[in-house]
């Protein structure tokens, strides 16, 4: 282990993009950073013990002194994993590696394939490596595999995955061997960051001929918005970031592709509504002075509301017809078929990826073997595993049951908060409607001015209530997000997959109620419990239950859907793109004045945003909530798929740009599908048929 206290000459000679130790031979597979506090003796002892144990595990370390760092405060510990360690842990983790080049001819004669040429990427980007037959690595049969160069046999994504596996299980205390793992050291401030390196700057190739510069290729062909019409280089994404991120982008791309068909049909239905606008008989009768203008309607509220003419709803009747016409029935039927086809075609695409990426029949077994470090630490009880015949940690049934009950009660409490907030918004609607009606009562009862005909009390109340509801939704999401993580940690899930599945169910259940409850109220409850003149129904015995307009509540549901759906997408894109960019700009502002040789590859990556373990979870959650909007209530707004398509075309490139330019390189992980999201999508599909039929 060499200390970099007098390595300024070496550092000056290093390329800005160097991903090697000072000897130029050993590749940097992982980097840890820390700031040496004057009062941090405990942290120093932890680091010393942790690094000694890393060396015992076979890792090679090299430290960059703080005097050589850009800020003069940060130490960087560079980690290299030698061949012997790679081979040992590749055997442990059951990593599949090539043993023979694929000699099966693959003829893909697609009719009229020249039509797709503008959307294609170069072959070297789409297929970054040859096709091989693979098998699980076995250290005792090393001659069986195609090993040309031991240094490049395992790609960087596999190498950083192995290093992180070691870091997650390495102890840092002599007294208590249960104290282990880089995650705990990051939480208690012993280390500031832990990350694998990007292989180059994103806007130019690496100066080192031995470097792949895959990050540059991803930025050039994938992450720029000017490439929005091109296919995604999924094999290169998988090679650079790992299968977990690769499958997410495969799913997002497929979902966006399928949205195209729904968007086209929805647009045609809207165009039909515009084209047949003048044939709308009931709207003509409502607007007719001799028909609607002569029909006197009962007051919509007590005391402050006056009698009104049916013709005052002329504008809202025309607006409602644009979305509620004969084509709407056809579109609702079409979306019921579309959502089923989407799920079935995705299963086929997913199965193909599992086969092509060697994910079949391996992930379940692997996940059972890999316990979460937090589970191993918190579970002090041990018992014999009858399969492996080894002692393993376990959580007693009573403790597990108590934790589950407390977790469930917490989720129910937060869901009840949502219901309470919805009741509050309804009360607001009732109170404010009376106020608006009082202000506007002169307008509807006379011959109507332009403003009075366009802004009815119902519309004014609906828009303001939708905006308030959206603000409440965002606040509750912000608070519950932290609560959900805490209670999932409290349950102590056994594996990472189990942890993500538990968190997924909690977060989606909450967000399902949070985002959709107001839409369910407008669609199925508003105007259904009004009563009749002389015997009206009252809320809390004070406010008369609100009614739908004569044309129905569909236009109000459309208003609610547009405000919540579009507001969420705009806010999400601001959070995803603008916030990381501003943070990175602020952190790296001083480093931009330094010469290239003083701002090393590990310092550049250190100044980027950290990609959390749950980062991909939030990406899925955002898209699945959007999927609910365009399927559950699509009969009320046929343009919803078009808005979703436009957002997703942007979303693919924003996510790509964010991963490539604004975040540190995530640790590679293997999954064979999108996990619990498959079941959630199926559930939404079933609900969507029921809700659209009911609408």
Residue 612 has pLDDT above 60, yes or no: yes
Q: Are residues 185 and 308 in the same domain?
A: no
pLDDT > 80? residue 111:
no
Q: Is the dihedral of CA 172, 175, 178, 184 positive or negative?
A: negative
Q: What is the pLDDT of residue 693?
A: 85
In a domain, 117, yes or no: no
Q: Which of 172, 8, 169, 153 is nearest to 82 (CA)?
A: 153
Q: What is the mean pLDDT of the chain?
A: 83
CA-closest candidate to residue 444, choices 432, 456, 462: 456
Mean pLDDT, rounded, for 137-141 = 88
Q: Which pLDDT score is estimated for 50?
A: 94
Last residue of a domain, which of 144, 173, 197?
197
CA distance 403 to 405: 6
Per-residue pLDDT tens digits for 277-312: 788 888 888 888 888 888 888 887 777 777 878 888
Instruction: Note whether residue 562 is domain-resident.
Output: yes
pLDDT score recorded for residue 6: 37
As to burial, measured by CB atoms within 10 angstroms (0-12 exposed, 13-18 middle, 19+ buried), residue 369 is exposed
d(CA 354, CA 473): 37
Task: Tell whether the model's pLDDT for residue 453 goes beyond 50.
Answer: no
DSSP 576-641: IIIHHHHHHHHHTTTGGGS-GGGS-HHHHHHTSBP--TTHHHHHHHHHHHHHHHHHHSGGG-TTHH
Most confidently modeled range among 42-56, 316-330, 593-607: 42-56
Query: Does 282 lie in the same domain as 173?
Result: no
424 part of a folded domain:
yes
- Structure tokens that stand for 59 in this block: 């890792």
Name the residue range of residue 552's domain. 241-694
393 and 488 in a common domain = yes
**Tens digit of each residue's pLDDT (9 = 90 or more) over 556-590:** 888 888 888 888 888 888 888 888 888 888 877 65
- Structural domain includes residue 145: no
- Check residue 195 and give its pLDDT: 95
The verdict on 341 and 193 lying in the same domain is no
In this structure, are 493 and 616 located in the same domain?
Answer: yes
Structural domain count of the chain = 2
**Ranges assigned E (strand) in 389-448:** 391-394
pLDDT for residue 466 is more than 90: no
Q: What is the pLDDT of residue 452?
A: 42
Indicate the pLDDT class of residue 365, thresholds 50, 70 and 90.
Answer: very low
Q: Do 471 and 360 fall within a single domain?
A: yes
- Residue that terminates a domain, selected from 170, 197, 224: 197
Beta bridge partners of 539: 543
Question: CA dist 83 to 78, 149, 526, Å?
Answer: 17, 10, 67
**Is the model's pLDDT at 133 over the cut of 80?**
yes
On whether residue 574 sits in a domain, the answer given is yes
More confident: 612 or 598: 612
- In this structure, the number of other CB atoms found within 10 A of the CB of residue 216 comes to 21
Confidence (pLDDT) at 454 = 44
Instruction: Note whether 432 and 293 are within 8 A (CB).
Output: no
Which of 339, 324, 350, 320 has the alpha carbon at shortest distance from 262? 339
> Over the stretch 79-97, which tens digit does the pLDDT of each residue have?
999 999 999 999 888 888 8
Q: What is the pLDDT of residues 234-278, one digit of tens each?
A: 999 999 999 999 999 999 999 999 999 999 999 999 999 888 878
Residues 164 and 299 in one domain: no
Give the residue from 197, 230, 257 where a domain finishes. 197
> What predicted TM-score, i.e. pTM, was given to this entire model?
0.86
Dihedral sign for Cα 571, 577, 580, 581, please.
Answer: negative
Q: Which pLDDT score is estimated for 448?
A: 38
Asked whether residue 235 is assigned to any structural domain, the reply reads no
571/661 same-domain check = yes
Is 96 within the bounds of a domain? no
Residue 110 has pLDDT above 60, yes or no: no
pLDDT at 600: 84
pLDDT band at 680 (very low <50, low <70, confident <90, very high): very high
Q: Is residue 653 part of a domain?
A: yes
| % of the chain with per-residue pLDDT over 90 | 30
- Considering only CA atoms, which of 51, 79, 56, 77 is closest in space to residue 66? 77
Structural contact between residues 685 and 630, judged by C-beta atoms closer than 8 angstroms: no
Q: Are residues 175 and 259 in the same domain?
A: no
Q: Do both 304 and 160 map to the same domain? A: no
If asked whether residues 188 and 245 sit together in one domain, one would say no
Three-class SS of residue 279? helix
Examine the domain organization and report whether 164 and 258 are in the same domain.
no
């Amino acid at each position: 282990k060499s200390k970099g206290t007098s390595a300024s000459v070496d550092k000056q000679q290093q390329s800005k993009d160097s991903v090697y130790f000072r000897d130029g031979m050993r590749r940097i597979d992982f980097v840890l950073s820390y700031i040496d506090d004057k009062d941090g003796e405990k942290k120093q002892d932890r680091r010393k013990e942790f690094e000694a144990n890393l060396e015992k595990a076979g890792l090679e370390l090299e430290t960059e002194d703080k005097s050589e760092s850009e800020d003069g405060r940060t130490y960087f510990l560079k980690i290299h994993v030698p061949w012997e360690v790679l081979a040992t842990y590749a055997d442990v983790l059951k990593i599949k590696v090539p043993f023979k080049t694929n000699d099966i001819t693959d003829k893909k004669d697609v009719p009229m394939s020249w039509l797709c040429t503008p959307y294609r990427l170069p072959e070297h980007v789409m297929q970054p490596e040859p096709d091989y037959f693979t098998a699980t690595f076995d250290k005792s049969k090393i001659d069986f595999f195609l090993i040309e160069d031991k240094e490049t046999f395992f790609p960087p994504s596999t190498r950083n995955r192995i290093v992180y596996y070691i870091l997650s299980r390495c102890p840092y205390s002599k007294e208590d061997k249960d104290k282990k793992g880089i995650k705990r050291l990051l939480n208690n401030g012993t280390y500031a960051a832990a990350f694998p390196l990007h292989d180059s700057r994103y806007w130019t190739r690496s100066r080192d001929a031995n470097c792949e510069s895959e990050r540059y290729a991803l930025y050039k062909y994938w992450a720029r918005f000017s490439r929005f019409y091109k296919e995604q280089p999924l094999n290169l994404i998988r090679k650079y970031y790992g299968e977990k991120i690769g499958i997410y982008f495969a799913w997002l791309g497929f979902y966006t592709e399928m949205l195209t068909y729904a968007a086209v049909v929805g647009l045609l239905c809207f165009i039909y509504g515009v084209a047949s606008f003048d044939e709308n008989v009931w709207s003509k009768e409502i607007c007719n002075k001799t028909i609607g203008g002569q029909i006197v309607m009962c007051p919509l509220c007590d005391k402050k509301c006056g009698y009104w003419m049916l013709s005052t709803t002329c504008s809202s009747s025309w607006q409602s017809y644009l979305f509620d016409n004969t084509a709407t029935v056809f579109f609702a039927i079409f979306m019921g078929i579309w959502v089923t086809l989407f799920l079935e075609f995705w299963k086929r695409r997913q199965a193909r990826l599992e086969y092509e990426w060697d994910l079949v029949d391996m992930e379940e077994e692997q996940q059972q073997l890999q316990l979460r470090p937090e589970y191993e630490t918190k579970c002090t009880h041990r018992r014999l595993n009858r399969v492996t015949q080894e002692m393993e940690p376990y959580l007693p049934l009573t403790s597990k049951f108590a934790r589950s009950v407390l977790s469930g009660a917490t989720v129910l409490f937060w869901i009840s908060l949502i219901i309470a907030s919805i009741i509050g918004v309804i009360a607001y609607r009732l109170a404010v409607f009376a106020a608006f009606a009082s202000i506007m009562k002169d307008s509807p009862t006379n011959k109507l001015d332009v403003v009075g005909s366009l802004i009815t009390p119902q519309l004014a109340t609906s828009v303001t209530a939708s905006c308030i509801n959206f603000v409440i939704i965002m606040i509750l999401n912000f608070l519950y997000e932290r609560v959900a993580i805490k209670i999932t940690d409290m349950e102590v899930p056994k594996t990472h997959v189990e942890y993500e599945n538990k968190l997924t169910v909690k977060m989606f259940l909450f967000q399902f109620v949070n985002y959709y409850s107001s839409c369910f109220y407008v669609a199925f409850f508003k105007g259904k419990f009004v009563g009749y003149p002389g015997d009206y129904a009252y809320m809390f015995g004070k406010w008369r239950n609100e009614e739908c307009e004569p044309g129905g509540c569909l236009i109000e549901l459309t208003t609610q859907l547009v405000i919540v759906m579009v507001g969420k997408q705009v806010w999400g894109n601001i959070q995803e793109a603008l916030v990381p960019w501003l943070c990175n700009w602020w952190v790296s502002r001083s480093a931009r004045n330094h010469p290239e040789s003083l701002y090393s590859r590990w310092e550049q990556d250190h100044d980027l945003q950290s990609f959390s373990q749950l980062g991909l979870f939030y990406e899925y959650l955002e898209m699945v909530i959007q999927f609910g909007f365009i399927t559950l209530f699509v009969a009320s707004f046929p343009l919803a798929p078009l808005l979703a398509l436009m957002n997703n075309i942007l979303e693919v490139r924003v996510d790509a740009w964010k991963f490539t330019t604004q975040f540190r390189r995530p640790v590679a992980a293997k999954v064979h599908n999108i996990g619990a999201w498959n079941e959630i999508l199926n559930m939404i599909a079933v609900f969507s048929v029921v809700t659209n039929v009911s609408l």
